């Protein structure tokens, strides 16, 4: 007679196998869709993202870091790379689509992200970001960090601040001649990728 414990173990194993098969099928479908997007938009596609990543905050987080589904192109003197980037924090895997631009100028290191309630608690405890008195709505909505505050303030002109306030939905990080735009924990659907890229161009062009 088969024990209840055996049935539970078998059912659990079958469940996990089904989940793994489903995830594998989803990844296979995504690769196929991204390859199609590359043909339609003039990108070069590679399932293995064999590129060296700059020393940016996102790429220093967590462990078990990996990248895949690379699309590349050059436009207006900028080398563009779009790829899926994964890293783990504890048992959780965080996945996002990253648009990376290599510019022909050097930028001060900075990160710009949405500001949340816990960030404001951090400010009370002494973890300050860079605010602009002339643009209180921008300073309240976004969290801007970086060591070279003077250079960053020079970079964030009124035009940059106003455009970002109207256009930006994700995070921006820069250092040297690299700048990236991404939305944490969100892989952009293949059907929406080119639109996301066009929005990113607007942001990157502010700093080139």
**Which residue range is the domain that position 161 belongs to?**
43-205
pLDDT of residue 26: 83
Statement: residue 206 has pLDDT above 80: yes
What secondary structure letter does DSSP report for 189?
P
Segments in the chain forming alpha helices (H): 4-41, 117-124, 136-141, 149-155, 158-167, 193-205
Do 180 and 100 meet the contact criterion of CB atoms below 8 Å apart? yes
Is residue 15 a part of any domain in this protein?
Answer: no
Is residue 73 a part of any domain in this protein?
Answer: yes
Is residue 11 a part of any domain in this protein?
Answer: no
Is residue 35 a part of any domain in this protein?
Answer: no
Distance from the Cα of residue 205 to its chain's centroid = 17
Which positions ≥6 away from 82 have C-beta within 8 Å? 43, 70, 71, 72, 97, 98, 99, 100, 193, 197
* Least confident span in 163-172, 184-193, 195-204: 163-172
Is residue 5 a part of any domain in this protein?
Answer: no
Taking residues 167-182, what's their average pLDDT? 92
Q: Say if strands 171-182 and 63-75 run parallel, antiparallel, or are unpaired.
A: unpaired
Is residue 148 a part of any domain in this protein?
Answer: yes
Is residue 145 a part of any domain in this protein?
Answer: yes
pLDDT, the chain, mean: 88
Q: Domain total for the chain?
A: 1
Task: State pLDDT tens for residues 78-135.
Answer: 999 999 999 999 889 999 999 999 999 999 999 999 876 444 544 545 457 899 999 9
Is residue 25 a part of any domain in this protein?
Answer: no
pLDDT of residue 123: 53
């Amino acid at each position: 007679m088969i024990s209840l414990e055996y049935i539970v173990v078998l059912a659990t194993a079958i469940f996990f196998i089904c989940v793994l098969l489903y995830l594998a099928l989803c990844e296979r479908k995504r690769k196929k869709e991204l390859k199609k997007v590359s043909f339609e938009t003039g990108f070069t596609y590679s399932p293995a993202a064999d590129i060296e990543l700059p020393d940016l905050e996102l790429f220093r987080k967590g462990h078990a870091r990996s990248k895949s589904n690379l699309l590349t192109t050059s436009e207006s003197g900028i080398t563009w790379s779009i790829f899926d980037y994964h890293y783990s924090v504890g048992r959780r895997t965080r996945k996002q689509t990253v648009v990376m631009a290599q510019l022909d100028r050097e930028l001060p290191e900075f990160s710009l992200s949405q500001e949340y309630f816990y960030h404001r608690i951090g400010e009370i405890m002494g973890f300050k970001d860079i605010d602009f008195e002339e643009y209180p709505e921008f300073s309240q909505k976004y969290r801007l960090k970086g060591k070279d505050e003077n250079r960053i303030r020079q970079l964030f002109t009124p035009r940059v601040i106003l455009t970002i306030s109207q256009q930006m939905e994700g995070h921006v990080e820069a250092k040297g001649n690299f700048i990236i735009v991404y939305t944490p924990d969100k892989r952009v659907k293949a059907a929406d990728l080119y639109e996301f890229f066009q929005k990113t161009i607007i942001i990157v062009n502010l700093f080139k």
